[in-house]
Structure 1
Amino acid sequence: MAENVYSEIEEKLKVEDWRVVFRLWKYTKPYVPILILALVLIAASTALDLLPPLLMRKAIDDYMDNQYSLVVVEEGDSYSFVQSEEGTFYLQQDESGMYSVTDGTTTYPITEKQLTELRVEDLNGIGQIAIFMSLILFSLFFVNYGQVYATSYMGQKITHGIRVDLFRHLIRVPMRFFDTNPSGRLATRVANDTENLAEFFTSVITSMVKDVLLLGGIIIIMLNLSTYLGLITVAILPVIAGAIFVFRYFDRVAYRKVRTRLAIINAFLAEHISGMSITQLFNQEERKKKEFDTVNKSHFKSLMEQLWVFAIFRPLLDLLYYVTIAIVIWFGVKSIIGNTLAFGVLVAFISYIDMFFRPLQDIAEKYDIVQNAMASAEKIFKLMDEEEEKYNSNESGVKSLEGTVEFENVTFAYDGEHKVLKDISFSVRPKEKIAFVGETGAGKTSIISILTGLYKIQSGKIKIDGRNIYDYNLQSFRKKVGVVLQDVFLFSGSILDNIRLFDKTISREKVIEAAKYVYAHHFIERLQDKYDTVILERGGTLSAGERQLIALARAVVFNADILVLDEATANVDTETEALIQRAMERISKEKTMITIAHRLSTIRNADRIMVIHKGMLVESGTHEELLSKGGIYSDLYRLQYELGDIA
């Protein structure tokens, strides 16, 4: 199935969170001041969030459901009220709407004027509470704004650093790594997985800190308001902790599958969009649609597994919330009836229970994101742990090369087992023109791969100017080796930038001079914007021959001392082939040139032709010498002549 081709191993729970967090801390350290500022703002925000229920309780118990320290002074048939600690009266309202005060035994009707005098302090107190509430809300707005801005800035900077390091690492891993890892999967790591970490740093870390502080503050306040009701509420915590522990395990497993199968989709899309022309030419649309449907269904199933886990956990928290509310109201009302609890305290308790479960639900949701982030971080760091290509940084940069190339008993296998080159030995003198020929799969292109150090050989030696290739700084060494492949890769950008590979230190004049040197200037001048003509990815708007000429100009502009051409004229028209041949003749007078070719007509003028057969060097000599031997080269030449490939 298509999925198996692109899939990764779905790992079991084996990487501890603390190890991942420890590695993430490296990227967080530069922004510790911002993190501290965010935590201070979070603490302030938490304190402000805890105040409204307390103000509500005060408004109810001290100003709405108030008791008054009064005594009644009777004056004949009338009476008045005097402030005194000796008497306690409560305000009440009958069914007709009339107010009166009572001390539990005697009830005294009061006038509207007396009611206003009696409640003037209550109204003033409620007014003050309203002002405090408004100040708290405005303060929360500015504090939360500062906290969100600080955490978002920190999260994006951290993610930027991880993404840059990951891409820097990717461009330094050996080519063998890219042979077994689809580009779509790697794009998922750099783009999607780092974005998951951005969400983790932006919203999760600080939010969970606030939730923990809020929970702690709520528990302390509830126990202070009523130890009895507080203990009843806190008793639910072990049940919640158990639910979170179970949820943690299953959610991590589900998210690993989601991330792995998303990478499979990206890998499938990257490959099939690139190969769309083949799909359409061979009428494979329906089959490819079915393959993608299989891959997509696998991703859908993993999402449903993750949704199933979360769909159970969230309603469970809701159930616990309503059960807790019911229990607190039941015992709270009994306490009010027993005159051991104020009504305002019960109202505040219900508000705090609502606040108590909000951070729990938030932690559940954020924990969902944490699992996503940890799964992504594991994959990112697993990619970062891939061994980088060694560049021998102690070696000084290569200024120039004479161009001597020596292979001494070189054996090479891409996978370390199945040999594609076997005991190859040859030498190339400076400014010599060497050509390799042989049937498809003989190992010709593999010689380029190991000559440039992209792959390491299993045995033997490769020497450049008498030095082992691995003693050079390979980054510096490759600047002096120009490679023109059969399928030239061009980046999105202008012709100018593709020749100088976006190196602004190389002047336009030097680029034009190089283009003229390899006969590319003429066709470039015919383009609408000439050297500033913008081409799309891989240069699809240019012919194969035009791309080859640009690649030759690229090699010249970077002043390579050794030029390697892999099937440079295999897919070009006769006119362009003639231009490439002229360019190669001109270049070969100044540089060592190694050519790999199927079309033997293009290498008849080579100083030496080497024939590779089944990974071994079997013949060597000039065109005439090899023809006279009547060996493999002679057979290849005769076959092409009969097929009409040789004029």
Structure 2
Amino acid sequence: MPQSVYAESEEKYKVEDWSIIKRLWKYVRPYTWLFIVAILLIMISAALDLIFPYLSKVAIDDYMNADHAYTVEAINGNIHFMKDPKGTFHLKQLEDGSYVITDGTNNYTVSPETLRELRSSDLEGLTKIVIYMILTLIAMFIAVYLQVYLTNYMGQKITHNIRMDLFKHLMRLPMRYFDTTPSGRLSTRIANDTKNLAEFFSSVITSLVKDVVLLVGIIVVMLKMSFYLGTISLLILPLILVSTLVFRYFDRIAYRKVRTRLAIINAFLAEHISGMSVIQIFNQEKRKAEEFDNVNKSHYKSLMEQLMVFAVFRPLMDLLYYLAIAAIVWFGAKGILAGKVGFGVLYAFTSYVEMFFRPLRDIAEKYDIVQNALASAEKIYRIMDEQEEEYNEDQPAVETLKGELAFKNVWFAYDGENYVLKNITFHVKSGEKIAIVGETGAGKTSIISILNGLYKIQRGDILIDGRSLYEYNLQTLRKKLGIVLQDVFLFSGTVLDNIRLFDSKIPKGRVHEVVRYIGAERFINRLPNGYETEILERAGTLSAGERQLIALARAVLYDADILVLDEATANIDTETEAIIQQAMEKISHRKTVITIAHRLSTIRNSDRILVIHKGNLVEEGTHEELMKLGGIYYDLYRLQYELGDIA
């Protein structure tokens, strides 16, 4: 099967980032206070980040490299040094490591004891700076811990809500949507794409806020500390902005491809794992492996394209960082020699430049995640924007039906053009037992599909108890229409779960009563754990007949007023068929029953038989009347008799 079958359109449809973020914001609103607290914590942690290099600058320039002025006095024959802003003497270290107090002409040797006394205030100041640094680190730890916890909690709650809304929306989409959309693609949207949004909400938004606050704060502090070096540092900003904008454009395109092709892989796997028995029976393993290799390579190429974009951007940011450092060192050294800049200022500037590029790198990485998240959000909202099925929920709930049914000049096409039902008209009385027959593809199952409103007809009308189908509350109406399909779908869980559809409000005793009523108790008792027997995905360990009995019990349990069997006895053994026939005899006394039949022997006792041929209702009557007519029904019956399908 060609890859295009699984692919979504890779058209570059334009969706503004802000429009997506605006739509996502409604999920943040319930957690506004958490978000505000997280932002406050982020601003606190950013401010604490900015303090650290400044404390280092103060430690170096005000205490470690402090050039205090002194006066020299001789008291009782001893030389004393006293700090005096107007003094002409300064402390100087000689090449041999010793210290002297000198005014350029007179030199006085300073003993280690005297040196400690002279620098005692500097040591006290350094001690305070170290204490401030420790307190800053502790405060940063607390602020970051609380911020990370709150943002992750908020992100997971938001993602949970998005995933729930998406799944609820999927359940309300018309059946036509699922006919044209691979299930693997939908699984990708619900599982993988919402996971990308989790990271966006839990870390990206708040991290971007912190990065922006840091950048603004660093620029302000650098300009205030040294306008000369600050201006030089900011000259590199235009290059950074241009690089970021170019990266943004190409990264978004690359991520769209990655998300689309991941969905293709999931859709391919979902279909082929489900159809593994067919692949193995027809020895198609090699060809299917080659097909998957092509799908996998396509995804690999899209990942490499995205990697190339990021591989260019990250080293470019590093290059700009080292250029900025080189400029700061060069012009800072000249400033020190000219006496315009202190060494502590230069040291702080190198720290601030490193800190300046840290959020830039973080923004680049987070922007990578943002592009991933926005690409995922685009895919999610393409599903969310699909029009939901109209349930007429403003109409009162359907409590019970008489079971009267009428088709009036019904025309129906799955694609809106090629009609599979043409001008179908018939009437079913309450409690009547009707059979619908016809060759494969005649349109029998389509009648059931439109009867429960899964598909809308193009022309005509369907009446239930004299009222148009489309005037009912469809959700409650479907509860009164029990349908047993030929291919019964069972969920992972126990037999009991599947009969009552995981509704624990329905007592087990009621389930047992229904199973006994339809005669399926012996079959369930044969299972290893009876009603508690675990059914794996799609119930591969149960026979077709056993699945049919579970589906029939389900329909009877929910007390449907109109019961439809769609080829329910087509592929089952004689014993199970007899059980179903006996059950239908009991049920038909108090319900309207419509049977779509493959084996004509099973519907001979129907009140009426409708014959569908190429989408038209061509014959109608009892078995005897149709046999006398000698038309299509007669030919079908005779053909089955000759093939041995009719005993």
TM-score by length of 1: 0.98
Q: Give distance in 2, aligned partners of 1:578 and 1:128.
A: 93
Q: Does 1:530 align with 2:533?
A: no
Is residue 403–residue 562 contact of structure 1 (8 Å, CA) maintained in 2?
yes
Q: What code does the residue aligned with 2:408 have?
A: E
Alpha-carbon distance, 1:551 to partner: 0.7
Q: How far apart, in 2, do the equivalents of 1:595 and 1:567 lie?
A: 7
Amino acid at match of 1:302: S
Deviation of residue 109 (structure 1)? 2.1
Hey, what does 1:444 align to over in structure 2?
Answer: 444
Query: Who is 1:409 aligned against?
Result: 409
CA–CA distance in 2 between the matches of 1:107 and 1:212?
53
Q: Distance in 2 between matches of 1:104 and 1:184?
A: 85
- Separation (CA, whole Å) in 2 of partners of 1:104 and 1:287: 92
Return the alpha-carbon distance in structure 2 between the equivalents of residues 635 and 528 of structure 1.
Answer: 45
| Matching residue of 1:287 | 287
Q: Secondary structure at the match of 1:524?
A: helix
* Aligned residue type for 2:528: Q
Matched, 1:634 2:634: yes
**Matched residue, 2:363:** 363
Aligned partner letter, 1:531: Y
Alignment match, 1:260: 260
DSSP 3-state at the match of 2:87: strand
Quick one: structure 1 residues 105 and 586, their matched pair in 2 at CA, closer, same or farther if it must change by over 3 Å?
farther
Q: Distance in 2 between matches of 1:18 and 1:461?
A: 45
Q: Match of 1:480?
A: 480
The aligned residue for residue 79 of structure 1 is: 79
**Cα offset for 1:106?**
4.3
Contact in 1 for aligned 2:69/2:90 (Cα 8 Å): no
TM-score by length of 2: 0.98
Which runs of no fewer than 5 residues in structure 2 stay unpaired?
none
Cα distance in 1 for residues equivalent to 2:17 and 2:123: 55
| Aligned counterpart, 1:55 | 55
* Aligned AA (1:259): R
Alignment correspondent of 1:146:
146
Conserved in 2, the CA contact under 8 Å of 1:317 and 1:361? yes
1:75 Cα deviation (Å)? 6.9
Matches within 5 A, 1:181-580: 181-580=181-580
Taking the aligned partners of 2:496 and 2:75, their CA distance within structure 1 comes to: 108
Inter-partner Cα distance in structure 2 for 1:479 and 1:103: 103
- CA distance in 2 between counterparts of 1:116 and 1:95 reads 19
Question: Aligned with 1:399: secondary structure?
Answer: coil
Q: Distance in 2 between matches of 1:241 and 1:105?
A: 55
Q: Deviations over 1:486-514 (max 9, x none)?
A: 01111111111111111122111111111
Change (3 A) 1:11 1:577: same
- Alpha-carbon distance in structure 1 between the residues aligned to 2:90 and 2:515: 100
Q: CA deviation at 1:97?
A: 2.4
3-state SS, counterpart of residue 145 of structure 2:
helix
- Which whole-Å CA distance do the structure 2 matches of 1:116 and 1:205 have between them? 51
User: 1:13 offset after TM fit, Å?
Assistant: 4.8
The SS at the match of 2:256 is helix
Helix, strand or coil for the counterpart of 1:197? helix
Shift of 1:77: 8.4
Q: How far apart, CA to CA, are the structure 2 residues paired with 1:437 and 1:297?
A: 48
1:411–1:421 Cα contact (<8 Å) kept: yes
How far the C-alpha of 1:144 sits from its partner, in A, is: 0.4
Query: Could you say which residue in structure 2 is the equivalent of 1:123?
Result: 123
Q: In the alignment, what sits opposite 1:3?
A: 3
Instruction: After TM superposition, give the deviation of residue 242 of structure 1 in Å.
Output: 1.0
Question: Would you say the 8 A contact 1:154–1:201 is kept in 2?
Answer: yes
- Aligned-residue CA RMSD in angstroms? 1.3
Q: Which residue of 1 aligns with 2:643?
A: 643
Aligned mates of 2:517, 2:100 — CA distance in 1: 109
- Between the aligned partners of 1:162 and 1:375, the Cα distance in structure 2 is 15
CA contact (8 A) 2:70 2:90 kept: no
User: Structure 2: which amino acid aligns with 1:229?
Assistant: L
Give the Cα separation in 2 of the matches to 1:461 and 1:484: 24
Code of the residue aligned with 2:350 in structure 1: it is I
The residue aligned with 1:64 is 64
- Residue of structure 1 equivalent to 2:132: 132
CA deviation after TM superposition for structure 1 residue 76, in Å: 10
CA distance in 1, matches of 2:105, 2:247: 58
Write the distance in 2 (CA, Å) between the matches of 1:284 and 1:609: 43
Structure 2 equivalent of residue 591 of structure 1: 591
Deviation of 1:587 (Å): 1.0
CA contact 1:38–1:150 (8 Å) conserved in 2: yes
**d(CA) in 1 for partners of 2:378, 2:176:** 22
Q: Which runs of 5+ in 1 are unaligned?
A: none
**Distance (whole Å) between structure 2 residues aligned to residue 22 and residue 200 of structure 1:** 14
